[in-house]
Amino acid sequence: MAHFTCGRLSCFMKTRATTSVVFRAGPQIKAAFACCLHLTRWHRAMDAKALAERQKQQMARGLPKRKAIAGVRQVLLVASGKGGVGKSTTAVNLALALMANQPSKAVGLLDADVYGPSVPKMMNLKGNPQLTDDNRMLPLTNYGVPCMSMGFLVDDDAPIVWRGLMVMSALDKLLRQVEWGSLDYLVVDMPPGTGDVQLTITQSIPIAGAVIVTTPQDIALLDAGRGAQMFRKVNVPVLGLVQNMSTFECPKCGQQTAIFGSDGARRLADSLGVALLGDIPLHVQIRQTSDRGEPVVVSSPGSPEALSYLNLASAVVRRLDELAA
């Protein structure tokens, strides 16, 4: 077929060189054009078949094998579908509450929110991490919790205006080049959304489970639902939802108001088939202690606000035990 087509095309070229009339209407040219068109379609079909075969071979290889972080027993992700729902505050207090509930357990905190690191301020930590003899970074520690964050590696007021490859390189250093020692839990404060950082982390290391933080507001719940579905697609167990800023208590009269709506996270949890792990109030003390770098779990351990985080930590551990059973 290819030999025949080439012959017809050669004839076409000779005819085109001698007369333009034949080029426009001659039956020989029409036949050559039809053969050329058929050959083009055949090549396209073969290219599509080859591409499909290559894709099939790549999919058969599967995702890259997840490699555990040295010394870390279980990794917990604290995530949110969108920003501004109190994810970092929850991650910090959850890490401290896990240690408060189980003093024999070692807990670490990794700030994976590369563009907006909050852990240094909330944990009242400053400075650059020291290096071991093999050039691994040593976490900075406060309240008994070792912490690592991009905020330790850049100036406080320096904007991080990096493209994807630079962000992935920085994230790899935070995941692979930190000397955590021996940890029972590593709580990871994830960036908001469902982008490259989330996929890189979930596909690089084994994850014990994800905790999704949301407010009862409908807009936040939409994004929280998308976040839960993302984790399911990458085979990360969703431990449950945290309903943050659930009610506001007036400091003068004590009246409670559901500013962002009532029980929205509970309804979402039921629709997703996951647990509602905790209900955190919107309270000025939580905000003030976070801004001072004295999280409420350690600065006011007997307060109702601290108790809500302690209950959250207990619920997370129960879900981990259920998954391990």
For the segment 92-139, what is each residue's pLDDT rounded down to a tens digit? 999 999 999 999 999 999 999 888 899 999 999 999 999 999 999 999
8 Å CB contact between 230 and 198: yes
Q: What is the pLDDT of residue 252?
A: 77
Please report how many Cα atoms fall inside a 13 Å half-sphere around the Cα of residue 76, on the Cβ side.
Answer: 25
Q: Does 194 lie in the same domain as 94?
A: yes
Pair (99, 51) in one structural domain: no
d(C-alpha 282, C-alpha 86), whole Å: 10
Q: Which two tokens stand for residue 299?
A: 């600065």
pLDDT of residue 190: 93
Q: Are 37 and 12 spatial neighbours (Cβ–Cβ below 8 Å)?
A: no
Assess if residue 213 is contained within a domain.
Answer: yes
Task: Specify whether 129 is located in the same domain as 43.
Answer: no
Does 21 map to a domain? Answer: no
Query: Which of 14, 43, 62 delimits the end of a domain?
Result: 62
Q: Do 168 and 200 contact (CB within 8 A), yes or no? A: yes
pLDDT at residue 256 in the model = 80
* Structural domain includes residue 190: yes
Do 210 and 245 belong together in one domain? yes
What is the pLDDT, as a whole number, of residue 29?
A: 65
CB atoms within 10 A of CB 286: 26
Instruction: For residues 84 and 56, state if they share a domain.
Output: no
End position of a domain, from candidates 15, 42, 62: 62
CATH of the domain at 203: 3.40.50.300
pLDDT at res. 297: 97
CA-to-CA dists, residue 130 to 13, 124, 136, 273, 283, angstroms:
74, 17, 8, 44, 37
Is 26 inside a domain boundary?
no
Is 194 within a domain? yes
**Does 41 lie in the same domain as 79?**
no
159 in the same domain as 97: yes
CA–CA distance, 104 with 224 (Å, rounded to integer): 33
Q: What is the DSSP letter of 124?
A: T
Measured CA to CA, the distance from residue 306 to residue 35 in angstroms comes to: 78
Q: Residue 253: what pLDDT?
A: 79
Query: Would you call 158 helix, strand, or coil by DSSP?
Result: coil
pTM: 0.78
Provide the residue range defining the domain that includes 231.
72-324
The two three-digit tokens of residue 108, written as one number: 């670490």
- Residues 179 and 47 occupy one common structural domain: no
User: Are residues 40 and 170 located together in one domain of the fold?
Assistant: no
Residues 167 and 51 in one domain: no
d(CA 126, CA 164): 26
What is the rounded distance in angstroms from the CA atom of residue 82 to the CA atom of residue 38? 52
Whole-number Å distance between alpha carbons of 116 and 238: 24
DSSP code per residue over 291-318: HTT--HHHHSTTSHHHHHHHHHHHHHHH
Please indicate, yes or no, whether residues 145 and 286 belong to a single structural domain of this protein.
yes
Split the chain (325 residues) into runs of 10 and give each run's mean pLDDT: 48 48 56 68 68 59 75 96 90 98 96 90 94 94 96 77 77 91 96 83 94 92 92 94 87 79 87 94 92 96 95 97 90
Q: How much is the pLDDT for 89?
A: 96
Which of 152, 167, 81 has its CA nearest to residue 111? 152
Rounded to whole angstroms, the Cα distance separating 234 from 199 reads 8
3-state secondary structure (DSSP) of residue 274: coil
Instruction: Enumerate residues 6+ apart whose C-beta is below 8 A from 16.
Output: 22, 23, 29
Q: Is residue 222 part of a domain?
A: yes
Coil, helix or strand at residue 59: helix
Q: Give residue 137's identity as a one-letter amino acid code.
A: M
Please write the tens of the pLDDT for every residue from 9-53. 455 445 544 444 444 556 666 666 676 666 677 667 766 677 667
- In angstroms, the CA 250 to CA 71 distance is 45
Residue where a domain terminates, one of 26, 43, 62: 62
Q: Are residues 95 and 49 in the same domain?
A: no
Q: Which of 262, 205, 265 is nearest to 240 (CA)?
A: 265
Identify whether 23 is part of a domain: no
Domain total in the chain = 2
- 9 occurs within a structural domain: no
What pLDDT, on a 0 to 100 scale, did the predictor assign at position 54?
A: 63
